[in-house]
Each structure stands twice: as structure tokens, then as C-alpha cells.
């Protein structure tokens, strides 16, 4: 069973890598609602969970839902992308809140999975995401 989880996590990373350019392009070219819808869909595709539902809980509780550090990194990336979208549309307060939450997700991931596993997750995410 752990091998299956690892395979699913790697598929989620690859899917996020595939979606990342679209999310960045949407941020530059689309309305706020379209960008947020794109993030919702990306969360469902990569993590199989509702984006807004995950954001209702504190970072520690959300990270406890995940079996791998990569999943926490994926969510942190999506939250950070939402912060960028909100900032581009002038909602700096909400953007700052999302940036803080993304940082909390990463800190909780390190606490739960350990620094080495979290560092490995960061490397895996960097390999899958295209460079800007």
C-alpha cells in the first residue's frame, strides 16, 4: 500500500507540473473568478480534495491529512499561487494571509515529516514544476 501512495503522489506532482504554466498564464490573462476556479480544479486533480475546504482548517490539521510531504508542498504551492492571483487583482490583505498560510503549511510539513523528507519533497516539486 505505501508504494501505491507514492505512485499517486508522483502522479499528483506531475499533474501539478502540467498545470502550473496554465495557472501562471491564467493569472496574467484571466479574471479573478476564472483564476480561482483554475486553482480549485488543480487542487481536485492533484490532491483529490476541495481547495476551499482545506483552507478552512489550520495548517497543522491539513498536513495531518497527508501521507507524504509532497502533498503538503503541492497545497502550499497552490496557496502561494492564489496569493499571487489576489495580489495581481489588488487584494493585498488576502494575499498576505495566503502567503502566511503557505509558510505555515511548509513549517508543519517539516515538523510532521522531518526536515529530510520535506527537503526531498521540495526537490521533487522543483523537478516537476517548470521554471518561469
- Nearest of 16, 1, 131 to residue 70 by alpha carbon: 16
Q: Which residue reads 498545470 in cell numbers?
A: 19
- The per-residue pLDDT for 132 is 56
For residues 69 and 117, give the distance between their C-alpha atoms in angstroms, rounded to a whole number. Answer: 7
CA dist list (Å): 43 to 51, 92, 111, 113: 6, 22, 23, 21
78-103 pLDDT, tens digit per residue, is: 999 999 999 999 999 999 999 999 99
Entry pTM:
0.85
Residue range 20-77, pLDDT digits in tens: 777 777 877 889 999 999 999 999 998 999 999 999 999 999 999 998 888 999 999 9
Record the cell numbers describing residue 10, joined without a space.
Answer: 508522483
Provide the pLDDT for residue 126: 83
Q: What is the structure's pLDDT at 96?
A: 97
**Distance (Å, rounded) from C-alpha 50 to C-alpha 43?**
7
In tens, the pLDDT along 14-28 reads 776 777 777 777 877
Amino acid at each position: 500500500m505505501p508504494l501505491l501512495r507514492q505512485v499517486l503522489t508522483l502522479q499528483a506532482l506531475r499533474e501539478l507540473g502540467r498545470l502550473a504554466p496554465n495557472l501562471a498564464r491564467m493569472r496574467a490573462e484571466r479574471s479573478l473568478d476564472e483564476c480561482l476556479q483554475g486553482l480549485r480544479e488543480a487542487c481536485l486533480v492533484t490532491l483529490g480534495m476541495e481547495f476551499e475546504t482545506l483552507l478552512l482548517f489550520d495548517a497543522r490539521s491539513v498536513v495531518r491529512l497527508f501521507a507524504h510531504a509532497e502533498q503538503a508542498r503541492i497545497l502550499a504551492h497552490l496557496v502561494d499561487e492564489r496569493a499571487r492571483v489576489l495580489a495581481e487583482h489588488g487584494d493585498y490583505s488576502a494575499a498576505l494571509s495566503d502567503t502566511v498560510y503557505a509558510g505555515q503549511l511548509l513549517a508543519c510539513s517539516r515538523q510532521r515529516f522531518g526536515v529530510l523528507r520535506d527537503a526531498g519533497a521540495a526537490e521533487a516539486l522543483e523537478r516537476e514544476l517548470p521554471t518561469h
